[in-house]
Amino acid sequence: MKQILITKQDGTKEPFNVEKLRHSLTRSGASEQEIDGVVDYVKKDLKEGMSTSEIYKHAFSYLEHEKKPIAARYSMKRAVLALGPSGYPFENFIAEIFRTKGYKVEVGSVVKGACVEHEVDIIGEMNGQKIGAEVKFHNKLGIRSDLKVALYVHARFEDIRSGKIQIDEDWLITNTRFSSNAIKYSNCINMKMISWTYPKQGNLHDLIEETGIQPITALTSLSGAEKKKLMEQKVILCKNIESNEEILHSLGLGAQKIENVMAESQALCRI
Amino acid sequence: MKQILITKQDGTKEPFNVEKLRHSLTRSGASEQEIDGVVDYVKKDLKEGMSTSEIYKHAFSYLEHEKKPIAARYSMKRAVLALGPSGYPFENFIAEIFRTKGYKVEVGSVVKGACVEHEVDIIGEMNGQKIGAEVKFHNKLGIRSDLKVALYVHARFEDIRSGKIQIDEDWLITNTRFSSNAIKYSNCINMKMISWTYPKQGNLHDLIEETGIQPITALTSLSGAEKKKLMEQKVILCKNIESNEEILHSLGLGAQKIENVMAESQALCRI
């Protein structure tokens, strides 16, 4: 194949590198055979000057038709990352997952410990059992929640329990990953940890699959700026759009675009 | 007084502002009367284009002659800040303060807790009593060590004690300050905290005064680059220069300059 220059997000050009595409597909859990399928499909329509995000969308559209679970995994991490830069939308996204699992949930409660007051990101209650969760959002996938985070979360819940407030289970949830020391410590003190890949069963990816809760950032028919505006108005979940078509009008979107967004959210967000 | 332009550290010019000087003197604990003295002294010799650091030195030289304790406080925070950007020199500076107080000190020990291993910045022992200290260095005076820091340090020492390692007293030491919640929590769980101004007696300023331990960054006869080179060679303390004149030769300093540095360190570092 002759060398084709593609356009990166910052506007600079670089030669299309099939290995980069393969690498990112491998990380999403695709098999060699599936990757070959995507690569053939992408190469066929590759054009000089295409942007990396066009190529990504193209690969995604193939996967979406052929291999739904891989497509989901491939895009889900990116969609959750796009909930930033503040941690608030991710917190509400996690709260909704707990609600869907049957918990009565409070977000950002201030709770009196034996020594000081603490803000607890999520308190969930079901059948008289109470869980407390600290939710750590990071803007880059490379950043880990480390031992210090696990230590302070444990000390916080201990102080809350010493203040005679019921918390039966401590949770620490992140959109990135944990250091091995953080995992070792949390297992030892019996604190539950959730990241994309931890634990093997019941991790963040599994929870999203299981509950079908999708963030609005997973929609491809809205621009980044449009998603930001929705999040500013506390619209975080794909399913919130379904019941709230006026909010799309308030963004100044045309009728055709609104129709596209509604169609995509119906397909993607499994209301 | 007519407007005089002075040169800031980044090379840009701004009008000399007597209120900024007064403010910084107020923070150092000088009285109104003492501030008036410095301002008169500085104004007398103010020249167009003078740099802010020249003005600071000038103010300092007045205080040094007139009000030694204020001069010391005024410069000490800056000298300790100049130990950065890494936290290592500050850690060793604190270790030396403990040694001078009679402790046998280890820096950066790795200690097995019940759950995981921890690096403890300083472990000090005297008369069979063991203290463990976490040392938090910040590069800006505005940054506080907050409740999360106090929480993780407590959880760490608890894990160490659960592993049957003796630590009788927990300390948390910073070169900046603590949030009021961090102080409240630490008092409640009986952890000792040291910052510039906390506690009222026995704070970092008092400890430096009491032990006479001064960092090489307090010397005015060495340039910032020369101090950096010394710190890279693990020369952190003013008193280390006294016993080690060769190290100044190795920096390529001339005989006259070396004489100045030795004279200043003898005067300032109270060996």
Spatial distance between the Cα atoms of A264 and A57, rounded to a whole number of angstroms: 14
Q: Does residue B60 share a domain with residue B23?
A: yes
pLDDT < 70 positions in chain A: 1-2, 9, 27-29, 66-74, 267, 269-271
Cα–Cα nearest to B121, from B93, B142, B145: B93
Cα–Cα nearest to B163, from B132, B140, B201: B132
Name the pairing type of β-strands A144-145 and A177-178: parallel
B73 is a domain residue = no
Q: What is the pLDDT of residue A257?
A: 87
Model confidence at B271: pLDDT above 50: no
Which residues lie below 8 Å from residue B184, measured CB to CB, with a gap of 6+?
A: A115, A116
Model confidence at B77: pLDDT above 60: yes
Residue the block writes with tokens 């203040």: A163
Q: Does residue B194 share a domain with residue B248?
A: no
Interface residue of B151, B187, B188, B190 to substitute, partner A, most A CBs within 10 Å: B151
Spatial distance between the Cα atoms of B124 and B207, rounded to a whole number of angstroms: 16
A71 is a domain residue = no
Please give the DSSP secondary-structure letter assigned to residue A271.
-
Mapping DSSP to helix (H, G, I), strand (E, B) and coil, where does residue B151 land?
helix
Q: How many CA atoms lie within 13 A of B247 on its CB side?
A: 23
The burial of A255, by beta-carbon neighbours within 10 Å (0-12 exposed, 13-18 middle, 19 or more buried), is given as exposed
- From the list A115, A149, A152, the residue facing B189 with the nearest CB is A115
Helix, strand, coil percentages in chain B from 3-state DSSP, rounded to 5: 50, 20, 30
- Burial string for A116-142 (b: 16+ CB within 10 Å, else e) reads bebebbbbbbeeeeebbbbbbbbeeee
Helix and strand tally (H, E) in chain B? 12, 9
Q: How many CB atoms lie within 10 A of CB B33?
A: 7
B53 is a domain residue = yes
Q: Does residue A207 share a domain with residue A99?
A: yes
> For B101-129, how does the pLDDT look when each residue is reduced to its tens digit (9 = 90+)?
999 999 999 999 999 999 999 999 999 99
Q: Does residue A225 share a domain with residue A205?
A: no
> For B135-193, how does the pLDDT look when each residue is reduced to its tens digit (9 = 90+)?
999 988 888 999 999 999 999 999 999 999 999 999 999 999 999 999 999 999 999 99
B249 is a domain residue = yes
Q: Does residue A197 share a domain with residue A97?
A: yes
- From the list A116, A118, A147, the residue facing B116 with the nearest CB is A147
Mapping DSSP to helix (H, G, I), strand (E, B) and coil, where does residue A62 land?
helix
Which residues lie below 8 Å from residue A170, measured CB to CB, with a gap of 6+?
A: A131, A132, A133, A153, A154, A157, A190, A191, A192
Q: What count of CB pairs under 8 Å joins A to B?
A: 46
Mapping DSSP to helix (H, G, I), strand (E, B) and coil, where does residue A93 land?
helix
Q: What is the pLDDT of residue A226?
A: 92
Mean pLDDT score, B211-223: 87
Query: End of a domain among B186, B211, B236?
Result: B211
Two tokens at A158? 């201990």
Q: What is the pLDDT of residue A9?
A: 67
Residue of B nearest to A113 (CA): B185
Spatial distance between the Cα atoms of B221 and B219, rounded to a whole number of angstroms: 6
Helix/strand/coil (H, E, C) string of A30-51?
Answer: CCHHHHHHHHHHHHHHCCCCCE
Q: Decide if B184 and A115 are in contact by the 8 Å CB cutoff.
A: yes
Two tokens at A2? 């002759």
Q: Does residue A173 share a domain with residue A99?
A: yes
Chain B residues interacting with chain A (CB cutoff of 8 angstroms): 114-117, 147-149, 151-152, 154-156, 158-159, 181, 184-185, 188-189
Q: Does residue B200 share a domain with residue B139?
A: yes
Q: Does residue B145 share a domain with residue B201?
A: yes
Please report residues of A whose CB lies closer than 8 A to that of B121: none
Q: What is the pLDDT of residue B138?
A: 94
Do B219 and B227 touch, CB atoms closer than 8 A? yes
Q: How many CB atoms lie within 10 A of CB B231?
A: 20
Enclosing domain of residue B148? 88-211
Element (H, E) at B13: strand B13-15
Do A171 and A194 touch, CB atoms closer than 8 A? yes
Spatial distance between the Cα atoms of B233 and B224, rounded to a whole number of angstroms: 14
A81 is a domain residue = no
Q: Does residue A143 share a domain with residue A101?
A: yes
Q: What percent of chain B is modeled with pLDDT above 90? A: 49
Cα–Cα nearest to A186, from A159, A140, A152, A139: A152
Please give the DSSP secondary-structure letter assigned to residue A237.
B
Helix/strand/coil (H, E, C) string of A152-203?
Answer: HHHHHHHHHHHCCCCCCEEEEEECCEECHHHHHHHHHHCCEEECCCCCCCCC
Query: What does the DSSP assignment read for B188-218?
Result: HHT-EEE-SS-SSSS-HHHHHHHH---BGGG
Query: Side by side, which strands form the sheet with B129-136?
Result: B104-112, B117-126, B129-136, B169-174, B192-194
A130 is a domain residue = yes
Q: Does residue A190 share a domain with residue A138?
A: yes
Spatial distance between the Cα atoms of B28 and B227, rounded to a whole number of angstroms: 24
A16 is a domain residue = yes
- From the list A116, A147, A181, the residue facing B147 with the nearest CB is A116
Two tokens at A222? 């809205």
Q: What is the pLDDT of residue A71?
A: 61
Spatial distance between the Cα atoms of B249 and B255, rounded to a whole number of angstroms: 8
Query: End of a domain among A32, A66, A100?
Result: A66
At B245, the pLDDT band (50, 70, 90 cuts) reads confident
Q: What is the pLDDT of residue B265?
A: 78
Q: Does residue A182 share a domain with residue A103?
A: yes
- From the list A114, A156, A185, the residue facing B151 with the nearest CB is A156
Q: What is the pLDDT of residue A72?
A: 57
B75 is a domain residue = no
Query: What does the DSSP assignment read for A99-140?
Result: HHTT-EEEEEEEEE-SSSEEEEEEEEEETTEEEEEEEE--SS
Report how many domains make up chain A: 3
Query: What does the DSSP assignment read for B46-72?
Result: --TT-BHHHHHHHHHHHHHHH-HHHHH
Please report residues of B whose CB lies closer than 8 A to that of A148: 152
Q: Does residue A106 share a domain with residue A207?
A: yes
Tell whether the torsion through CA atoms of B213, B217, B221 and B227 is positive or negative.
positive
Q: What is the pLDDT of residue B27?
A: 67
